[in-house]
Amino acid sequence: MDASLNLILSFNVIAPLFFLMVIGYVLVHGTKLADKELCSKANALVFKVFLPCMLFKNIYQSDIKTQMKGELCLFAAGSLLVLFLLLCFIVPRIVKQENQQGVVIQGIFRSNYVIFGVAVVESMYGSENTVTAAILSAILVPMYNLLAVIALSVFGEKREHDWKKVIGNIVKNPLILASVLGILFSCASIRLPQAVETTVSDLAKLATPIAFLILGGDFDFSKVKGNLKTAGWVIFVKMIALPAVMIPIIISMGYRNAELLSALLAYQTPVAVSSYIMAQQAGADEQLAGQLVVFSSAASVVTLFVTIFLLRQLGYLL
């Protein structure tokens, strides 16, 4: 395919998400139409209603028995666990400031996959091809949360955690519940009444635009000062080095198109916004955590665009 056409197609996948973030930033910081308080409330609405509806719909409307890629799911979960263990071994030997160690560990392994993963795949291949990304969300999101708690408790200042409460929160996570329900409905061939299905579908359509508007609105460039060196190499490892290692492995496993894109996004999406909140609650370096969210979100616009363009040029994403 012509390089210029691939360039345009790659731009058209990423640009709308970037524009939504810019609009969100302008609405919060440049007008009186929205503020941080509204973003906080809208964020809860997206997390508890819109995103669960999107995940449920994408899985529910798929033929999970034939579309689920078991080997890819196992690889994603296994590689995340291996990466986490390697980071726990390496990071404390490089980062000497104790309250930054857990932040750096979660900053590298923890991705905002639940928002970027499904959204980018849907933008490129349509909602009917997002089942792999949706199932990966159901697997990776609870792992991100559990491993982040471990990282911040073992490599941080506050080491006391109510593990029963942590596990309970993971089990009650709306995204996990929605994914499990979607899998059950799909496998059992249970169909919702048309009116209910249409309502769920309409709510699901709100997830991506509102989530990216909020992400842009939450940007605070005043927090990017300091820790530039640490934040810089963390972003390099997360957004460039790690994908450069993992993408060839996924390709060698035979995955292409929507499945390949779903998998690579597990390694090249920005740091989850909730990592800042968790770092704050754990007594870790919340400023560094916030900087990692801002820098990785900004960098993703370029790195995802370049990755998609190159893979299209090489014929792996058609």
Instruction: Report phi then psi at 192, rounded to 5.
Output: -80, 155
Phi and psi based region of residue 256 (left: phi greater than 0; alpha: psi -120 to 50; beta: remaining): beta
Question: Are the C-beta atoms of residues 96 and 283 closer than 8 Å to each other?
Answer: no
Bridge partners of residue 271, in order along the sequence: 111
pLDDT surpasses 90 at 281: no
- Residue 226 gets the label, from left (phi > 0), alpha (psi -120 to 50) or beta, of left
The dihedral region occupied by 91, where left means phi > 0, alpha psi between -120 and 50, and beta the remainder, is: alpha
What confidence score (pLDDT) does residue 150 get?
83
- Token representation of residue 76: 């994603």
Secondary structure (3-state) at 152? helix
List, for residues 211-266, the tens digit of each pLDDT value.
888 878 877 776 666 678 889 999 999 999 999 999 999 999 999 999 999 999 99
- Retrieve residue 276's tokens: 């800042």
Backbone angles phi, psi at 310, to 5 degrees: -65, -45
4-57, pLDDT tens digit by residue? Answer: 777 787 788 778 888 888 899 999 999 989 988 898 888 888 888 988 898 888
pLDDT of residue 11: 81
Q: Angle of helix 51-60 relative to helix 194-217, nearest 10 degrees? A: 130
Q: With bands split at pLDDT 50, 70 and 90, how would you rate the model's confidence at 92?
A: very high
